[in-house]
Amino acid sequence: MDIVAIFKEGIEVAKKNYVIFLPTVTVAVVMAVLTLIIVGAGAVSTGLMGSSMQSPGAFMSFLGTMAGGFFVMALIGMILGLVAHGMTVGMAKEALDTGTTSISSGLSIAVGRLGQLSVASLFVGVIVLIGLMLLFVPGLVASFFLMFTFVSVIVDNVGAVAAMKKSYAMVRANMNDSVVFFIAMIAVGAVFAIANMVLGVIPVLGQLIGLAIMGVFGGYASVVIVMVYTEMEKTAGAPAGSPTMKS
């Protein structure tokens, strides 16, 4: 499998179907705006309370309010993130199959699989978190073997456990290609992250643009991972002795 060719082709597919970027970009911008609102409200509240903030009780109440606001925001972000991720994967698959896609079809797919995506996100998140707590490397390994879980949920319309098993099996069966793809995806993600950090120094506007760029990366990553997943499935289903793409 030519991973470099897939990354290049992914750019063309995404350019022809730019709506794939909209879910992740929209969620990134919405979360940034919500953060600014919460922080701004906290600043205004602090100014209005003035000297009363010196009271331990008032200060603790202020911290509790802020913590509650960020908790609600995190919950909203998690739900919106799952929907956006499901939409981009579904739209990427549709674009690859038919040459075109739409927001409505992506939303329909994501909402229809939201329960499965939520459970898969919980399982994968817990496994990776535990792995990261065990000297980081086990978490990286878990991320590697489970990287196709969400794609399988959307593309194969299966439950969380079945999708995790499918991801593990596909990675094991295509170890060399999987390693190259995993490292390449981390490298591309690092480039986008650096761009985000550079823009982050610019107050408000730069931060919003940076987050939008990360949203673009999310859409592009979905296209590429679906392409790799599809290619691996073709290889797995090819008759013995049939030609396949070389690594």
- For residue 42, name the pLDDT band (cuts at 50, 70, 90): low
Which tens digit of pLDDT belongs to each residue from 74-84?
888 889 999 99
So what's the pLDDT on residue 50? 53
Mention every residue, 6+ apart, whose C-beta is less than 8 A from residue 112: none
Instruction: Summarize the confidence of residues 14-41 as an average pLDDT.
Output: 85
- For residue 54, name the pLDDT band (cuts at 50, 70, 90): low
Task: Return the higher-pLDDT residue of 244 and 217.
Answer: 217
Q: Report the residue count for the chain.
A: 247
Q: What is the pTM of this model?
A: 0.83
The percentage of residues in the chain with a pLDDT greater than 90, rounded to a whole number, is: 57
Question: Does residue 247 have a pLDDT over 50?
Answer: no
Task: Return the higher-pLDDT residue of 212 and 179.
Answer: 179
- For residue 47, name the pLDDT band (cuts at 50, 70, 90): low
Alpha helices in the chain (DSSP H): 3-16, 22-49, 56-98, 103-112, 114-133, 137-145, 149-156, 160-173, 175-200, 205-237
- For residue 36, name the pLDDT band (cuts at 50, 70, 90): confident
Please provide the average confidence, as pLDDT, over all residues in the chain: 85
Question: Does residue 226 have a pLDDT over 90?
Answer: yes
SS3 98: helix
Instruction: Summarize the confidence of residues 111-119 as an average pLDDT.
Output: 94
Task: Return the higher-pLDDT residue of 134 and 224.
Answer: 224
- For residue 43, name the pLDDT band (cuts at 50, 70, 90): low
User: What CA–CA distance (Å, rounded) separates 94 from 92?
Assistant: 5
Which tens digit of pLDDT belongs to each residue from 128-158?
999 989 888 999 999 999 999 999 999 999 9
